[in-house]
A and B are shown apart, each in its own frame.
Chain A
């Protein structure tokens, strides 16, 4: 799981172009969205949906599903490990 968490952090930094942030700066349990934590928004959520499909073969049909899955890196990693097809 730790390996997946580290990989995910790197992928998120790359796909969301978080230039000034390093993987160790991201708190695994902190919220990704909103003012606390990383401060991502709805467009980032759509990019994360693309990332899930591209890298893990998980296809989300409804953008609202993202709200639960993208709560934090740890929740996201947990969901990916249970549902990944690649």
Chain B
């Protein structure tokens, strides 16, 4: 069975406008949104930015939210504004009530989440109880929930956090879910506001320009931070046809690859960007010469623009299509940039023009972008989004009238079986082994840190010196799981983390709040993003394949597993390393207790890596047969999901062995796989919001 994936709704909020109409006018008139700082309270007034020209209170008013009675974050508010436009255009919400008509999945991308409020109230969190309600708005998953809940109930939520490619990877997961037949219609996108945290982080990396940025120009001297949100409604052609929805464009292809080179720099040959773009074209079945326009990542840093130029030249040779970076308009909208630039591409397709690369004068070694406004009919448009850690993605859009060379296949019944070949953990129990499983160490303390392994055998000292414990655990478990499975380089690395690199985030945030915005340590910032583990493991294993990180509180691991399962069953990949990592510090633990999490529970840390494959090497622990993630299910939906797996043993939790962390469901699966004794088992997780079921067969 084959289908097209159409885009039937789009919404955008950025420095160049609220909504598509304002955005289009700014693009066509060459009106940049880069201005002096106005809304963010910071000492760094030397850096111009691309701020959304609305205060939080003004956004609340537009959305009908009373800020006094509902804690909100800027990322969530921008996300809601943009989502409203997308859902209205696709006619998925009731115009009167503004509520979603039917529950559908929503996949978001963000990295800062609620950091704007956390950095404002961090000292209050530690010292008094005046702002406790904002502890709960901190994590990336909470941000997605706030955005989604404003419109009623979505059927599933998840959040990608791959730094500046987050939203692009949300589009990819949404498309994979449609191709797997999991849903006919999915909302995808991302949101990110400017915070003091990452403004100072980018400043410490010395990649911010004090002038408006000049992508691809010889005189470029860094990026300007921007902010915003954008969403796309993806649906099958059949579903759109039934609803009489008008297609804006077709998602023709996409690619995701890992540069596996350096934490913050792109390789000189642009390997990751090259592979991501190549994959997008191959999936769509088109030749490089058919691409009419590339919306480049084009951050205007010295490193990105030259390596992206190299990657584009490698793929397109002498037939370079028109290229521009619209970050000269919007600033670098980081995690949201993937879909913000996707919506800009849709506007370009719809209104037949090439967005101009503002402030370009001389090329130097880089390619020459479009520096004059030009009208052009566009059939195929490529949009790049690259992130720290070498998380590189590319999306390919086709005009509704462009001929479809190949259509995406939808999963048929002959999909591949997926085996769990190995699993390795570092936790409160004996590290990197499982022979203790019949007599685990009892948990007695409110917070039990992990028992550390000997990391010297896995990591050279010069590399290890900069790594926090969470990174060392990530490498040690990954190396153990891959070695046990007999696989040197996994074809995909998919990582889950609820809170990310807590230790580095806390040190950077503490310094920011106590010492002020000066002399902050770049290493701490660089290793504070959620995708640090996944990219460090990719560098260590030389893995250039698919790479993604999920940060959606208690369903982070289940999201990562679902992503792996969908791709493996369709044979897009033959094996995948799925990882789950969360660390805990004493003060973060105290904050979480204050925020109402971890009540009467044993808090622990989690490090699990597992190797999944479509080939059973004869030593598989079990088959991962199927899984479900449900958000706020009704009782009927809950019963139906449970009934689908028939009469099987339920394995609910290994909390008494491993304690609690956001990614503890990975340890539940680990325990179940090691103790299932030849009977099928369902690993069930449920809380007040989510129900997840993972079906294991011996």
Q: Restricting to B499-547, which residues have a CB under 8 Å from any CB of A?
A: 518-523, 526
Q: Does B61 sit at the interface, judged by CB under 8 A?
A: no
Q: Which of A16, A39, A46 has the most CB of B within 10 A?
A: A46
A residues near B465, Cβ cutoff 8 Å: 16-19
Q: Does B497 sit at the interface, judged by CB under 8 A?
A: no
Partner of A46, one of B204, B461, B462, B518: B204
Q: A17-B466, A42-B265, A63-B206 are in contact. Are A47 and B461 (CB under 8 A)?
A: no
B residues near A18, Cβ cutoff 8 Å: 465
Q: Is the CB of B523 within 8 A of A20?
A: no
Q: Which of A19, A42, A63 has the most CB of B within 10 A?
A: A42
Whole-angstrom CA separation of A39 from B462 in the bound complex: 8
State how many residues of chain B have any CB contact under 8 Å with chain A.
17
Partner of A43, one of B461, B518, B519, B522: B522
Partner of B205, one of A16, A19, A46: A46
Q: Is the CB of A20 within 8 A of B461?
A: yes
Q: Is the CB of A50 within 8 A of B461?
A: no
Q: Restricting to A35-69, which residues have a CB under 8 Å from any CB of B?
A: 39, 42-43, 46-47, 49-50, 53-54, 62-63
A residues near B265, Cβ cutoff 8 Å: 42
Whole-angstrom CA separation of A62 from B521 in the bound complex: 16
Q: Is the CB of B519 within 8 A of A46?
A: no
Q: Does B330 sit at the interface, judged by CB under 8 A?
A: no
Q: Restricting to B418-467, which residues have a CB under 8 Å from any CB of A?
A: 461-462, 465-466
Q: Does B309 sit at the interface, judged by CB under 8 A?
A: no
Binary contact track A8-23/B, C-beta < 8 Å → 1, others 0: 0000000011111000
State how many residues of chain A have any CB contact under 8 Å with chain B.
16
B residues near A54, Cβ cutoff 8 Å: 519
Q: A17-B466, A50-B519 are in contact. Are A43 and B526 (CB under 8 A)?
A: yes
Q: Is the CB of A47 within 8 A of B522?
A: yes
Whole-angstrom CA separation of A67 from B466 in the bound complex: 21
CB distance from B532 to the nearest CB of A (A): 13
Nearest B residue (CB) for A19: B465
Partner of A50, one of B264, B462, B466, B521: B521
Q: A19-B461, A19-B465, A20-B461 are in contact. Are A43 and B263 (CB under 8 A)?
A: yes
Nearest B residue (CB) for A60: B206
CB distance from A51 to the nearest CB of B (A): 9
Q: Is the CB of B466 within 8 A of A46?
A: no
B residues near A20, Cβ cutoff 8 Å: 461
CB distance from B473 to the nearest CB of A (A): 18
A residues near B462, Cβ cutoff 8 Å: 39
Q: Which of B206, B263, B521 has the most CB of A within 10 A?
A: B206
Q: Is the CB of A46 within 8 A of B263?
A: no
Whole-angstrom CA separation of A25 from B244 in the bound complex: 74
B residues near A39, Cβ cutoff 8 Å: 462
Whole-angstrom CA separation of A47 from B431 in the bound complex: 33
Whole-angstrom CA separation of A19 from B472 in the bound complex: 15
Q: Is the CB of A50 within 8 A of B522?
A: yes
Q: Is the CB of A50 within 8 A of B204?
A: yes
Q: Is the CB of B519 within 8 A of A47?
A: no
A residues near B205, Cβ cutoff 8 Å: 46
B residues near A17, Cβ cutoff 8 Å: 465-466
Whole-angstrom CA separation of A63 from B303 in the bound complex: 13
Partner of B520, one of A43, A50, A63: A50
CB distance from B500 to the nearest CB of A (A): 19
B residues near A16, Cβ cutoff 8 Å: 465
CB distance from A24 to the nearest CB of B (A): 18
Whole-angstrom CA separation of A66 from B526 in the bound complex: 19
B residues near A19, Cβ cutoff 8 Å: 461, 465
A residues near B522, Cβ cutoff 8 Å: 43, 46-47, 50
Q: Is the CB of A43 within 8 A of B204?
A: no
Nearest B residue (CB) for A53: B519
Q: Is the CB of B523 within 8 A of A43?
A: yes
B residues near A49, Cβ cutoff 8 Å: 206
Whole-angstrom CA separation of A43 from B521 in the bound complex: 10
Nearest A residue (CB) for B524: A47
A residues near B204, Cβ cutoff 8 Å: 46, 50
10 closest cross-chain pairs (CB), A and B? A17-B465, A46-B522, A63-B206, A54-B519, A50-B519, A20-B461, A53-B519, A19-B465, A39-B462, A43-B523
Listed in ascending order, the chain B residues whose CB lies under 8 Å from chain A are: 204-206, 263-265, 461-462, 465-466, 518-523, 526
Beyond A17-B466, A42-B265, A62-B206, list 9 extra A-B contacts (CB 8 Å). Answer: A16-B465, A18-B465, A19-B461, A39-B462, A43-B264, A43-B522, A47-B521, A47-B523, A50-B520
**Residue contacts A-B, CB under 8 angstroms, 26 given:** A16-B465, A17-B465, A17-B466, A18-B465, A19-B461, A19-B465, A20-B461, A42-B265, A43-B263, A43-B264, A43-B466, A43-B523, A46-B204, A46-B205, A46-B206, A46-B523, A47-B521, A47-B522, A49-B206, A50-B204, A50-B519, A50-B521, A53-B518, A53-B519, A62-B206, A63-B206
